[in-house]
């Protein structure tokens, strides 16, 4: 039997089987759905799930959780840099040709890396929002950096634009697409034909950016 990696219960009406890009099987189920009914559906859909997992494996590069060892590779602005452990104390992490991490910081390396990415994300996203807004007349409110895992960006009714810190690992043109996407939501709140038309006027090749995220987005993480 296929292994269920995660069950998420929400106020939905039906059970959904989702094969993630790392091959994990996630089940989204109604609050009152029994564990037995979930397992029965998984057994019934066993062949379909295995086909989906095989397709994912053939399409997407597998994500390997970080171990924070010499030579390990990390994304930043679409480029990949190697990690070098250094006999130094401050700052704990710098990017200078390579990512240089202080040996003393190894026990808290995941926290150190995430903090570094968050700092860069706030700077980069602020610059890109300001640039796109100035070019196309948008007037966004606050800019927030979030820990979102299911979406790259969002736009609130008050005009706050938010971006997942992991997005700073992507190339700048891809970041710009997400920025454009959220800024257009200041004018069009849905994903209608009008919305995508406005996105295309600003970024004619936006579909290529979506494709890049589809193929590589699951790699933009630390764990």
- pLDDT tens-place string over residues 151-163: 999 999 899 999 9
Q: How far apart are CA 37 and CA 27, in angstroms?
A: 12
pLDDT at 208 over 80: yes
Q: CA torsion angle for 151, 155, 161, 165 (degrees, to 10)? A: -10
Q: Is-contact 162 148, C-beta < 8 A?
A: yes
Is residue 23 classed exposed, middle or buried when 0-12, 13-18 and 19+ CB atoms within 10 A define those classes? middle
pLDDT band, residue 63 (cuts 50/70/90): confident
Which CATH superfamily is 121-219 part of?
A: Metalloproteases ("zincins"), catalytic domain (3.30.2010.10)
Geometric angle at alpha carbon 181, from 14 and 174, rounded to 5°: 105
Residues 6+ apart with CB under 8 A from 51: none
Q: Is-contact 129 176, C-beta < 8 A?
A: no
DSSP code for 120: H
Q: How far apart are CA 32 and CA 1, in angstroms?
A: 23
Q: How many residues does the chain have?
A: 223
Q: How far is CA 122 from the centre of its chain?
A: 15
Phi first, then psi, for residue 186 (nearest 5°) are -65, -25
Residue 89: per-residue pLDDT: 67
By percentage, how much of the chain surpasses pLDDT 90?
83
Section 67-90 average pLDDT: 92
pLDDT band, residue 55 (cuts 50/70/90): confident
Section 80-87 average pLDDT: 94
Ranges in the chain annotated CATH 3.30.2010.10: 121-219
Section 201-221 average pLDDT: 94
- pLDDT tens-place string over residues 10-34: 989 999 999 987 788 999 999 999 9
Residue 184: per-residue pLDDT: 96
Alpha-helix runs per DSSP H in 28-108: 35-44, 46-59
Q: How far apart are CA 66 and CA 101, in angstroms?
A: 14
- pLDDT tens-place string over residues 111-144: 999 999 999 999 999 999 999 999 999 999 999 9
Is residue 90 classed exposed, middle or buried when 0-12, 13-18 and 19+ CB atoms within 10 A define those classes? exposed
Do strands 143-146 and 161-164 pair parallel, antiparallel, or not at all (unpaired)? parallel
Would you tell me the crossing angle of helices 206-216 and 172-184 to the nearest 10 degrees? 110
């Amino acid at each position: 039997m296929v292994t269920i990696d995660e069950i998420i219960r929400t106020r939905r009406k039906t059970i959904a089987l989702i094969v993630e890009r790392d091959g994990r099987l996630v089940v989204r189920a109604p609050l009152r759905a029994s564990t037995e009914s979930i397992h029965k559906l998984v057994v019934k859909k066993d062949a379909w799930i295995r086909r989906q997992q095989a397709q994912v494996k053939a399409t997407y590069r597998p994500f390997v959780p970080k171990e924070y060892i010499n030579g390990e590779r990390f994304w930043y602005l679409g480029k990949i840099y190697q990690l070098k452990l250094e006999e130094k104390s401050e700052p704990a992490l710098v990017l200078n040709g390579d990512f240089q991490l202080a040996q003393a910081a190894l026990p808290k390396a995941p926290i150190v890396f995430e903090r570094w990415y968050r700092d860069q994300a706030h700077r980069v996203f602020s610059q890109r929002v300001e640039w796109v807004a100035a070019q196309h007349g948008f007037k966004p409110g606050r800019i927030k950096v979030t820990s979102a895992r299911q979406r790259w960006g969002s736009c609130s009714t008050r005009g706050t634009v938010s971006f997942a810190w992991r997005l700073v690992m992507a190339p700048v043109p891809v970041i710009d697409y997400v920025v454009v996407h959220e800024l257009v939501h200041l004018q069009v709140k849905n994903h209608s034909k009008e919305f995508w038309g406005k996105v295309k006027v600003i970024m004619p090749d936006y579909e290529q950016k979506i494709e890049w995220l589809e193929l590589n987005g699951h790699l933009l993480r630390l764990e």
